[in-house]
């Protein structure tokens, strides 16, 4: 007997027939003698509709009222799933965030979970009753409803698994696991059996879109074993776990890419102390995340070029902020380029093995792909290249790092 938290996203509960499908999976785990809590998202499309209503009511709105509106999506799903389970003869009941309660801070719209009181649901689970829990929501101070921000149901599931000391947290999604790279682009992509939290974190943050970043951070912190698998087929998924659970560590576990990058080059920036702060200070004030930064060596001892990347959604805002701050530090020209992609090779094996960056650069060079910006971390090497080379680069690197399926 194990204690399991299962989580199903919006596409897995998109209509009643799909919810029934979810109920069948839950029933199987419950009838196998496991204690089961299920966390569900809103039916796909519902949250977007609710957010649209709120924005139609007022562009700038009270986040507490926003939360009261959008939290209803998950409440619908838990009731329907509980009914489907009962219909199949499985004891079940629904739990909203305030009923459990899942205590959060008061940051409405992006609340953080502070604690989960598991006493009631543990008591129910011990009687064989499945706890059907609304993801994405909690109870803020003052008895108000809060939500965790988009994708927050993954975080709810992992936080609940941690609080319940669950044996594992199964995240069902519309992909069947974590792949070495995007299988839509690289046919030879392989599904990984296991991946470390750190690698998953890098994959998530560079756009692999499988798990929400915060949920992986939380899993890592509390050592929650997370399994990513599909709700549409009966096949094993990918286990996200501690490094010591992985015996044979690959040098490179996966190759990620993100098209959501824009490159900005400031030509002819004065090469003197304080200039970088003069540029990045106003960007930080405007809540614009700067990712990669590279500064060329000085041309003439007086001026240099500075290149950095921001999310494409922030490109226009960034240009405005930089141009507004121009007087403070001065530059000759601002060149913006949205046609770039960030490609990253990721692997905990890199820590103990040099040469990954070299293999990456050589592989790209052989294909005639120019590297515009480079950044590295302990377990990741990222390069910015022209977007048109995305597929070519991914396939070449996938082969070079021996990730291709046999």
- Residues found near a copy of itself in the complex (CB under 8 A): 16, 19-20, 50, 53-54, 56-58, 61-62, 64-69, 71-73, 75-76, 78-80, 82-84, 86-87, 93-94, 96, 98-99, 143-145
Please, what is the minimum distance in Å from the beta carbon of residue 184 to a copy of itself? 31
State the minimum distance, in angstroms, from the CB of residue 15 to a copy of itself.
8
- Name the residue nearer to a copy of itself (CB basis): 78 or 306: 78
Q: By C-beta, is 88 or 290 nearer to a copy of itself?
A: 88
Our CB check for a copy of itself shows the closer of 119 and 352 to be 119
**On the CB side of 251, how many CA atoms lie within 13 Å of its CA?**
13
Of 87 and 193, the one with the shorter C-beta distance to a copy of itself is: 87
Q: Which is nearer to a copy of itself, 81 or 162 (CB)?
A: 81
Cα distance from N-terminal residue to C-terminal residue, the chain: 36
Query: What are the beta bridge partners of residue 226?
Result: 169, 240
CB of 33 to a copy of itself, least distance (A): 24
Closest by CA to 348, choosing from 243, 255, 218, 244, is: 243
CB of 259 to a copy of itself, least distance (A): 28
Least separation in angstroms between CB 72 and a copy of itself: 4
| CA quadruple 347, 348, 351, 354: dihedral, nearest 10 | -30
Shorter beta-carbon distance to a copy of itself: residue 17 or 244: 17
Question: 147 or 303, CB closer to a copy of itself?
Answer: 147
| Smaller CB separation from a copy of itself, 137 or 318 | 137
Per-residue b or e along 27-61, where b marks 16 or more CB atoms closer than 10 Å to that residue's CB:
bebbeeebbbbbbbbbbbebbeebeeebeeeeeee
Q: How far is the CB of 319 from a copy of itself (least distance, A)?
A: 20
Task: Provide the minimum distance between the beta carbon of 4 and a copy of itself in the complex, in angstroms, as a whole number.
Answer: 22
CB of 110 to a copy of itself, least distance (A): 17
Q: How far is CA 91 from the centre of its chain?
A: 33
**Is the four-CA dihedral 325, 329, 335, 340 of positive or negative sign?**
negative
In angstroms, what is the minimal distance from the CB of 181 to a copy of itself?
37
CB 157 within 8 A of CB 115: no
> Which residue, 140 or 228, has its beta carbon nearer to a copy of itself?
140
């Amino acid at each position: 007997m194990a204690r399991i938290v299962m989580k199903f996203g919006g596409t897995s509960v998109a209509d009643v027939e799909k919810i029934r499908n979810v109920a069948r999976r839950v029933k199987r785990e419950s009838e196998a003698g496991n204690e089961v809590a299920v966390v569900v998202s809103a039916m796909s499309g519902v949250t977007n509709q609710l957010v649209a209503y709120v924005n139609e009511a007022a562009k700038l709105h009270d986040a507490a009222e926003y939360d009261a509106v959008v939290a209803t999506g998950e409440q619908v799903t838990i009731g329907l799933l509980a009914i489907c389970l009962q219909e199949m003869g499985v004891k079940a009941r629904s739990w909203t965030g305030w009923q459990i309660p899942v205590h959060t801070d008061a940051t409405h719209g992006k609340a953080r979970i502070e604690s989960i009181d598991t006493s009631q649901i543990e008591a129910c689970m011990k009687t064989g009753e499945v706890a059907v829990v609304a993801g994405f929501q909690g109870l803020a101070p003052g008895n108000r409803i809060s939500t965790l921000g988009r994708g927050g149901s993954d975080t709810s599931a992992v936080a609940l698994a941690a609080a319940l000391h669950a044996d594992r947290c199964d995240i069902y999604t519309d992909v069947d696991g974590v792949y070495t790279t995007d299988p839509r682009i690289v046919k030879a992509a392989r599904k990984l059996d296991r991946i470390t939290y750190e690698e998953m974190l890098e994959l998530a943050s560079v756009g692999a879109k499988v798990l929400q970043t915060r949920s992986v951070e939380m899993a890592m912190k509390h050592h929650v074993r997370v399994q990513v698998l599909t709700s549409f087929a009966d096949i094993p998924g990918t286990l996200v776990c501690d490094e010591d659970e992985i015996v044979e560590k690959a040098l490179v576990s996966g190759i990620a890419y993100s098209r959501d990058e824009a490159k900005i080059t400031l030509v002819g920036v004065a090469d003197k102390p304080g200039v970088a702060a003069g540029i990045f200070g106003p960007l930080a004030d405007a809540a614009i995340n700067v990712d990669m930064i590279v500064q060329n060596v000085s041309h003439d001892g007086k001026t240099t070029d500075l290149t950095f990347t921001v999310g494409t959604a922030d490109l226009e805002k960034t240009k405005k902020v930089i141009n507004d701050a121009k007087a403070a530090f001065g530059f000759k020209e601002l060149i913006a380029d949205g046609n770039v992609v960030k490609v990253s090779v990721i692997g905990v094996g890199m820590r103990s093995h040099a040469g990954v960056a070299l293999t990456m650069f050589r592989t790209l060079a052989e294909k005639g792909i120019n590297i515009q910006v480079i950044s590295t971390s302990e377990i990741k090497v990222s390069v910015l290249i022209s977007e048109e080379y995305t597929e070519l680069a991914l396939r070449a690197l996938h082969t070079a790092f021996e990730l291709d399926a046999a």
